[in-house]
Protein backbone atom coordinates (compact mmCIF):
# COMPACT_ATOMS: atom_id res chain seq x y z
CA UNK A 1 0.00 0.00 0.00
CA UNK A 2 2.73 2.48 0.87
CA UNK A 3 4.58 1.82 -2.38
CA UNK A 4 1.47 2.81 -4.35
CA UNK A 5 0.91 5.89 -2.23
CA UNK A 6 4.55 6.87 -2.59
CA UNK A 7 4.42 6.39 -6.37
CA UNK A 8 1.26 8.47 -6.60
CA UNK A 9 2.66 11.29 -4.50
CA UNK A 10 5.89 11.21 -6.53
CA UNK A 11 3.90 11.46 -9.79
CA UNK A 12 1.88 14.40 -8.45
CA UNK A 13 5.03 16.13 -7.22
CA UNK A 14 6.71 15.59 -10.59
CA UNK A 15 3.71 17.00 -12.48
CA UNK A 16 3.56 20.00 -10.15
CA UNK A 17 7.28 20.59 -10.55
CA UNK A 18 6.98 20.36 -14.34
CA UNK A 19 4.23 22.99 -14.36
CA UNK A 20 6.19 25.23 -11.98
CA UNK A 21 9.40 24.76 -13.98
CA UNK A 22 7.68 25.71 -17.24
CA UNK A 23 6.37 28.90 -15.66
CA UNK A 24 2.91 28.43 -17.13
CA UNK A 25 -0.05 28.65 -14.81
CA UNK A 26 -2.52 25.74 -14.74
CA UNK A 27 -5.21 28.35 -15.45
CA UNK A 28 -3.67 28.88 -18.88
CA UNK A 29 -4.05 25.18 -19.70
CA UNK A 30 -7.71 25.27 -18.68
CA UNK A 31 -8.36 28.44 -20.68
CA UNK A 32 -6.64 27.05 -23.78
CA UNK A 33 -8.74 23.89 -23.56
CA UNK A 34 -11.96 25.92 -23.27
CA UNK A 35 -10.78 28.20 -26.09
CA UNK A 36 -10.16 25.26 -28.44
CA UNK A 37 -13.52 23.65 -27.62
CA UNK A 38 -15.32 26.95 -28.23
CA UNK A 39 -13.48 27.35 -31.53
CA UNK A 40 -14.46 23.87 -32.70
CA UNK A 41 -18.06 24.45 -31.63
CA UNK A 42 -18.09 27.75 -33.48
CA UNK A 43 -16.87 26.08 -36.67
CA UNK A 44 -19.58 23.41 -36.42
CA UNK A 45 -22.40 25.87 -35.75
CA UNK A 46 -21.34 28.26 -38.50
CA UNK A 47 -21.36 25.36 -40.93
CA UNK A 48 -24.89 24.44 -39.80
CA UNK A 49 -26.25 27.84 -40.86
CA UNK A 50 -28.42 28.05 -43.92
CA UNK A 51 -27.28 29.38 -47.21
CA UNK A 52 -29.40 30.46 -50.18
CA UNK A 53 -32.72 29.09 -48.92
CA UNK A 54 -31.50 25.79 -47.51
CA UNK A 55 -30.33 24.95 -44.07
CA UNK A 56 -31.07 23.34 -40.79
CA UNK A 57 -34.73 24.35 -40.69
CA UNK A 58 -35.54 22.91 -44.10
CA UNK A 59 -33.55 19.77 -43.34
CA UNK A 60 -35.76 18.96 -40.34
CA UNK A 61 -38.96 20.26 -41.95
CA UNK A 62 -39.50 22.98 -39.37
CA UNK A 63 -42.38 25.35 -39.80
CA UNK A 64 -41.18 28.84 -40.60
CA UNK A 65 -42.55 31.89 -38.89
CA UNK A 66 -44.74 34.05 -41.13
CA UNK A 67 -43.60 37.35 -39.59
CA UNK A 68 -39.84 36.97 -39.84
CA UNK A 69 -39.39 34.18 -42.36
CA UNK A 70 -37.09 32.20 -40.07
CA UNK A 71 -37.85 29.19 -37.97
CA UNK A 72 -37.35 28.71 -34.27
CA UNK A 73 -34.52 26.29 -35.02
CA UNK A 74 -32.62 28.94 -36.97
CA UNK A 75 -33.17 31.54 -34.25
CA UNK A 76 -31.77 29.17 -31.64
CA UNK A 77 -28.90 28.30 -33.97
CA UNK A 78 -28.12 32.01 -34.26
CA UNK A 79 -28.21 32.43 -30.47
CA UNK A 80 -25.89 29.48 -29.90
CA UNK A 81 -23.48 30.71 -32.56
CA UNK A 82 -23.37 34.22 -31.07
CA UNK A 83 -22.86 32.76 -27.59
CA UNK A 84 -19.96 30.63 -28.79
CA UNK A 85 -18.42 33.62 -30.58
CA UNK A 86 -18.68 35.80 -27.47
CA UNK A 87 -17.18 33.02 -25.32
CA UNK A 88 -14.33 32.56 -27.79
CA UNK A 89 -13.64 36.31 -27.83
CA UNK A 90 -13.66 36.47 -24.02
CA UNK A 91 -11.26 33.55 -23.68
CA UNK A 92 -9.02 35.24 -26.26
CA UNK A 93 -8.92 38.42 -24.17
CA UNK A 94 -8.37 36.56 -20.90
CA UNK A 95 -5.57 34.49 -22.43
CA UNK A 96 -3.97 37.66 -23.73
CA UNK A 97 -3.93 39.07 -20.19
CA UNK A 98 -3.02 35.90 -18.28
CA UNK A 99 -0.50 34.13 -20.52
CA UNK A 100 3.06 35.33 -20.12
CA UNK A 101 5.58 33.31 -22.15
CA UNK A 102 8.77 32.38 -20.40
Q: How far apart are CA 91 and CA 30, in angstroms?
A: 10
The predicted model gives 88-92 an average pLDDT of: 97
Sequence ranges of the domains in the chain = 23-98
When comparing pLDDT for 25 and 60, which is higher?
A: 25
Identify whether the C-beta of residue 61 lies closer than 8 Å to the C-beta of residue 43.
no
Model pLDDT, residue 54: 57
Q: Read off the pLDDT of residues 31-60 as tens digits, 9 standing for 90 and up.
A: 999 999 999 999 999 998 876 555 555 566
pTM beyond 0.75: no
Amino acid sequence: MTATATATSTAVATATTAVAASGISPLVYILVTIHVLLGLGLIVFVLLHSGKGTGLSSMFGGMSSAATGTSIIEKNLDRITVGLAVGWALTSLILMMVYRPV
